[in-house]
Amino acid sequence: MSAFRFQVLAQDWAARRGEIETPRGKIRTPAFMPVGTAATVKAMFLDHVREAGADIILGNTYHLMLRPGAERIAKLGGLHKFMGWQGPILTDSGGYQVMSLSKLRKIDEKGVTFSSHLDGTKFELTPERAVEIQNLLDADIVMQLDECIRLPAPDNEVERAMQLSLRWAERSKRAFEGAEPGRALFGIVQGGTLPKLREESARALVRIGFSGYAIGGLAVGEPQDVMLTTIEQAVPELPADKPRYLMGVGEPGDILAAVERGIDMFDCVLPTRAGRHALAYARFGKINLKNARHAEDAKPLDEQSQCPAARDYSRAYLHHLVKANEMLGAMLLTWANIAYYQELMQGIRDAISAGRLKDFAAETRENWKREAR
Amino acid sequence: MSAFRFQVLAQDWAARRGEIETPRGKIRTPAFMPVGTAATVKAMFLDHVREAGADIILGNTYHLMLRPGAERIAKLGGLHKFMGWQGPILTDSGGYQVMSLSKLRKIDEKGVTFSSHLDGTKFELTPERAVEIQNLLDADIVMQLDECIRLPAPDNEVERAMQLSLRWAERSKRAFEGAEPGRALFGIVQGGTLPKLREESARALVRIGFSGYAIGGLAVGEPQDVMLTTIEQAVPELPADKPRYLMGVGEPGDILAAVERGIDMFDCVLPTRAGRHALAYARFGKINLKNARHAEDAKPLDEQSQCPAARDYSRAYLHHLVKANEMLGAMLLTWANIAYYQELMQGIRDAISAGRLKDFAAETRENWKREAR
C-alpha cells in the first residue's frame, strides 16, 4: 500500500497547485471536499459527486459516532464501503459539532463528555477516542480533536482552548501511532484571531509533526478580512511541503481569497445546504430560485456548464420544483452547486499551473457580479 | 408525424403482450407508468426512470393546472420539455384529485368548481377545459373528465355519476376533435362495483369511440376480489384492438392479477410513495427498511437486480439513511421500487410472449413470500 504523499506541482505567488497521493487515489489541490455528514452527501448520488470532479469527500465523526456508530460501520467494512465511495475520505474529529450541536457538554483535560442531540445518550470524546473512531471509520485523513470555542471570546479563554488543543494534538499523535500505512493525521491550528496565539499554535504543531495542517476556528461569523489576515499570519509558520486545510470554508469568494494566500484544501456545507434551500451557486453568481422572476425563465442556470443539473433544466422548472417543495429541486440544485464548486477548483488549479491566478481571480470575481445586475 | 396505434403481439389466455406506437415512441404493454404528479417523478432523475425500463410516465392535470399552470407550461414548450422527458406522457383529467384533494367542490352538469388545496384559488374544470389543459400540457394520451365518487355509495348515486361521466365523455370527444395527430383520447368506464352499470358504461363509451379505454373508480379500498370481478365484467365489453388501462393500480399482486384478466396499462403512486416511506418492493417481497433487524445486514435489497439502488447498497446503509431521515434514502428506495415494478412488467411481457404467464405468476407470487419468512 502506497504512502501518504504531498507534492507541490506549481506555485503562483503564495498559491500552490499540488497533489496528495493516498492509497485510495490522488487528490488534486487546491481541493474542495463536499461534506458527507451522515455517510451521505445530502441529496446526491456519489456518482455525480465524483463526475463533478471531487477527489475526496468529508465525513463527520460526531454524526457517525452517534448514528449508526463507528463500531457498526467498521463491522460493515468501513465508511467507504458503507456509503459506496471509493476515493479518499477525510473525517473531522467531532470537536466542532460537539460544540455546536450537542447538549450538556463538559470539557476537561481528558476530553469532552456530551449528550447526543438525537436522543440524549451520553458520549465521551477524548483525543484517543477521536482517533480510534476515525480509524474504525477507515478514514484516509484523520483530524486531531481540538476545542473550538465560540468567538468572540476573552483572550485568555482563546489561549486556554488553544493550549488544550495543543496538548490534545500530542495525545492524538501518540494515539495515531501504528495506524495503517498510508493513513494521515492532521493537526489543527487554533488561537482565534490573535496573531501571537496562531503563531504559537502553528509552531508547536509543527514541532509535534503532522502530515498536514488545518486552520480551525475560522468562518464562524468573523468578517472576511479578519479571516484572511489570520490565514496570512498562520501560513508562513506551516511547512511548505505539507498540505494546508482551511476548515469549514466557505463561500466561493472566501475559497478564492484563501487559495491566493496558500491554502490547499477546503470543506463546507454551503453548496449542499444552499441546494436544499433554493440557492444556486453558478458562474455568474448566486441565483435564488424562490424568486418569482424565474417563473417563466427558460434559461438554465448555466448553459455552458458540464453539469446536467445546471445545463439541462430551465430556471422556470427549478423555480416550480422549489415552490412545490419537490425533492428533485434540492437534488438538482445540490448537484449544480457541487459541480460549480468543483468547476471553480478546476479553474483555480489550471490558473495556478498557468501562472495566471490573479487574472483568473479578477475575471471570476467580475463574473460573480453578473446575476445581480 | 405518425399516428397513435396499438397492436397485440401475443396473447396468453386473457393476457396480452402489445405495443402502442406514439409520435414520441413506443410503449411496450403491459406497461406500468410511474407517476410524475407535479412534473417530477418524486425523488427521481428521469434518466433512472427511463433506464429502469419505463416507456411512458403519467402527469396529473389537477396538480399542474394549479401550479405552475397549464398555460405557463405551454409557454415553456410543453410538459416534456419542461420536465425533460422525451417519451410519451399520459395525463389524467383531474377528476380524481378534485374529489380527493380539493376543497369546496360543486359538481353540476357543466363540470366541477373547486378551490385549490394550495391557496384556496377557485378553479373550474369542465370536460372541455380538461381536454384543453391536457393539450396545453402536450400530453400524448389524454383522459376524459369523469366523476369519481367515493365508494361505498348508494346504487343510484353510482349510476348518476356514471351517466354524468358518459355525457362528459361525449363532450370530451367533441372537444378533442382537431387535436394534433398522433395524440389519443381515452374514455373511462365507471359504475362502481355494479356489473350492470359497468357493462352499460363500457358499451356506451365504445359507441362514442376512443383510442383506448380505462377502468376508473377502482383500487379505492375495495377488496381485491371485488376489483378483479369488476375487471372481469368490464373487459369483455371493450374492443380487443384498443389498450385497456386500469387507473391507479396498484400493488404488484394487483397488477399481475389484472394482467391475467386482460389489462394493458397501469399507474400508481405506490412505488414512489413507498420509497419515501422506507418501504422497498423487491423480487422476494416487501422490505420495511425502518425495521431494526436490517441495522447490520450487509445484503442489498436484491443482489441480482439490474438497478444500482437495489444492488449496490446494503440494507444496513438504507436503514441508516431512513433512520437519519436522509433524502438519499428516499432517492434510493424510490429508484429501486420503480426498477422493481419495471422488472416485473418485463417479466410479465416476456412470459406472455412465451405463453407461460400462469407459471410466471405462480413463481412470482411464491417469491413474494420469501422476505416475510
pLDDT in tens, A286-307: 999 999 999 999 999 999 999 9
The upper half-sphere exposure of residue A87, i.e. CA atoms within 13 Å in the direction of its Cβ, equals 21
Catalytic residue, chosen from A12, A138, A264, A267, is: A267
Give A273→chain B minimum CA distance, Å: 12
Average pLDDT score over chain B: 96
pLDDT at position B360 over 90:
yes
Report the distance separating Cα B292 and Cα B276, nearest Å.
18
Q: Is B241 a catalytic residue?
A: no
pLDDT at position B304 over 80:
yes
Question: Which range among A161-170, B194-203, B213-222 shows the weakest confidence by mean pLDDT?
Answer: B213-222
B76 with A314: Cβ contact below 8 A: yes
pLDDT at residue B1 in the model:
53
pLDDT at residue A372 in the model:
78
Q: Which three cell numbers stand for residue B150?
A: 367515493
Catalytic residue, chosen from B92, B138, B146, B264, is: B92
pLDDT at residue B151 in the model:
83
pLDDT at residue B220 in the model:
84
**Residue B27's beta-bridge partner residues?**
B20
**A127 preceded by a cis bond (ω within 30 of 0):** no
Residues of B with CB under 8 A from a CB of A: 38-40, 42-45, 67-68, 72, 75-77, 82-84, 276, 295-296, 298, 312-314, 316-317, 320-321, 323-324, 326-328, 330-331
Mean pLDDT of A244-266: 97
CB contacts, 8 Å: A39 with chain B? 317, 320-321
* pLDDT per position as a tens digit, B305-341: 999 999 999 999 999 999 999 999 999 999 999 999 9
pLDDT at position B210 over 60:
yes
* pLDDT per position as a tens digit, A10-66: 999 999 999 999 999 999 999 999 999 999 999 999 999 999 999 999 999 999 999
Mean pLDDT of A225-236: 95
Among the listed residues A120, A94, A88, the one whose alpha carbon sits nearest the alpha carbon of residue A107: A94
pLDDT at position B105 over 90:
no
* pLDDT per position as a tens digit, B61-74: 999 999 999 999 99
Percent of chain A with pLDDT over 70: 99
Q: Is B92 a catalytic residue?
A: yes
pLDDT at position A260 over 90:
yes
Query: Residue A35: helix, strand or coil by DSSP?
Result: strand
Report the distance separating Cα A225 and Cα B137, nearest Å.
52
The most distant pair of C-alpha atoms in chain B lies apart, rounded to whole Å, by 60
Q: Which of B76, B295, B312 sits opposite A68 (nearest CB)?
A: B295
* pLDDT per position as a tens digit, A122-138: 999 999 999 999 999 99
pLDDT at position A1 over 60:
no
Q: What dihedral angle (degrees, nearest 10) is formed by the CA atoms of A261, A370, A373, A334?
A: -90
pLDDT at residue A157 in the model:
95
Question: Contact, A266 vs A28, CB < 8 A?
Answer: no
Q: Which residues contact B296 (CB under 8 A, 6 or more apart)?
A: A72, A75, A76, B316
pLDDT at position B167 over 60:
yes
* pLDDT per position as a tens digit, A331-348: 999 999 999 999 999 999
Which of the four pLDDT bands, split at 50, 70 and 90, describes residue B56?
very high
B68 with A295: Cβ contact below 8 A: yes
Residues of A with CB under 8 A from a CB of B: 38-40, 42-45, 67-68, 72, 75-77, 82-84, 276, 295-296, 298, 312-314, 316-317, 320-321, 323-324, 326-328, 330-331
One-letter amino acid of A164: L
Question: Contact, B207 vs B238, CB < 8 A?
Answer: no
Report the distance separating Cα B333 and Cα A296, nearest Å.
32
Q: Where are the alpha helices (DSSP H) in chain A?
A: 46-51, 61-66, 70-75, 79-83, 95-101, 127-137, 155-176, 195-208, 224-234, 252-259, 270-275, 308-311, 315-323, 327-353, 357-367
Q: Which of B42, B45, B328 sits opposite A326 (nearest CB)?
A: B42
Query: Residue B29: helix, strand or coil by DSSP?
Result: strand
Which of the four pLDDT bands, split at 50, 70 and 90, describes residue B129?
very high
Q: Identify the residue with better confidence: A259 or A220.
A: A259
Question: Contact, A189 vs A202, CB < 8 A?
Answer: yes
Across A13-45, b (16+ Cβ under 10 Å) vs e yields eebbbbbbbbebeebbbbbbbbbbbbbbbbbbb
pLDDT at residue B342 in the model:
98
pLDDT at residue B99 in the model:
85
pLDDT at position B256 over 70:
yes
